[in-house]
Amino acid sequence: MAADKNNAMPFTNIPKEYTSALDLAGGMVQLDAYADKPFDGMRVLVTGGGKGVGKGIALAFALRGARVAIGCNSNPDMARDTLDLLRRHTEAELIPSDIGDPDGCDHLVDETVRLLGGLDVVVSNAAIQTNRSMLETTRESFERTLAVNTRAPFLLMKRARPHLTASGAGRFIMVSSVHGKRPTNFDAAYASSKGAMLMLCREAAIAFARDGVTVNIIAPGAVVIEGKTGDPKSFSVLRRKPIRPMTLYPLGRVGVPMDTGEAACFLASRAAGHITGTTIRVDGGSMLL
């Protein structure tokens, strides 16, 4: 019964622009749920915030009244649409930059601080995925994957450190994946970069603790984003057989970007001040199976 409720479409009058970020979200997200703006005054940078999971994260912060800067490299048109959406709720900025390049990381942090007047939360979400097997993966693409997915959060946290320290309640949140622990079978470089991120998080949590800055990870499972279907059959090697969704996701549905956004907002909140160096899986329980 619970699964049926989760699968229901609770949103009947939500404008179309929101749906890719909100989609179902299990009925938990309402656009007016945070009318009291609990994050008023908070300054947030979301890398890769133009689309997909990053859009859901940026929107979750925007709905709570935080001022949001989104970094973007690919798909500038989608990022501009996301910016328009965010600006309906809050002050938002779009900063094009390639964080695979060290200068791009510095630029992104510096621009955010200049535009927002400081920085309280960094959500390092941007990632690339090549979907290539190990033999197909070239040295160049392996290096590029590590540079964007793992070196970038490292460089971002170094550059953002004085600002996060000055904030008094600085938060550095990284978006990893269930594939930080579990092999993908289709992208060794991606899984390696996400696994490295888990230890980066733990080391950084110790190093930043004395500054009062927490460092945590969110690990989503499969997420429906633009251009990807939520049909569980498309995720399974066992597609020759009928699949019961609940045997893939115990909670009965695939993830949506807003699931990750809500978890990020919890980690950014005052309530999470004693949490550091940990990983929150947001995968509908799929990694249990």
Partner 1 sequence: MDDISGNNRPDWRFAGVSVWVTGADTPVGAAASDMFEREGAKVLRSGVDGIPNPRTSAEAFAQTAGLDKIDILVTAVRSISVKPLLESDAADFDNAVADNLIGVFAAMQAAFLKMVDTAKPEPHSNGVMLVVSSIHGEKPNGSAPLYSVACGGLNMLVREAAQEYGRLGVRVNLLAVGPLEGDPALFPSGITAVYDDAEYKIPRQRLGTPEEAARAALMLCSKDASFMNGASVPCDGGYQGFYMNADVERRLEAALAIGKEAGYGR
Query: What are the residue numbers of the active site?
Result: 190
Q: Does 182 bind partner 1 (CB under 8 A)?
A: yes
User: Is 97 or 177 the residue whose CB approaches partner 1 more closely?
Assistant: 177
Q: What Rg, from alpha-carbon coordinates, does the chain have?
A: 18
Q: Does 1 bind partner 1 (CB under 8 A)?
A: no
Q: Does 136 bind partner 1 (CB under 8 A)?
A: yes
How many other C-beta atoms are found inside a 10 Å radius of the C-beta of residue 277? 17
Residues 264 and 204 sit within 8 Å (Cβ to Cβ): no
In whole angstroms, the minimum distance from the beta carbon of 161 to partner 1 comes to 34
- CA–CA separation, 118 vs 3, rounded Å? 43
Give, in order, the Cα–Cα distances in Å from 161 to each of 48, 60, 206: 20, 23, 13
In whole angstroms, the minimum distance from the beta carbon of 194 to partner 1 comes to 12
E strand or H helix at 161: helix 152-167
- Cβ partners under 8 Å of residue 286, min gap 6: 178, 221, 222, 248, 249, 250
In whole angstroms, the minimum distance from the beta carbon of 182 to partner 1 comes to 4
Q: Does 274 bind partner 1 (CB under 8 A)?
A: no
- CA–CA separation, 164 vs 123, rounded Å? 12
- Residues 70-109 touching partner 1, rule: CB under 8 A, are none
- Residues 231-250 touching partner 1, rule: CB under 8 A, are 232, 235-238, 241, 243-244, 246-248, 250
E strand or H helix at 121: strand 121-124
In whole angstroms, the minimum distance from the beta carbon of 280 to partner 1 comes to 18
User: Is 21 or 222 the residue whose CB approaches partner 1 more closely?
Assistant: 222
Q: Does 209 bind partner 1 (CB under 8 A)?
A: no
Give the interface with partner 1 as residue ranges (CB under 8 A): 133-136, 178-179, 182-186, 222, 232, 235-238, 241, 243-244, 246-248, 250, 286-289
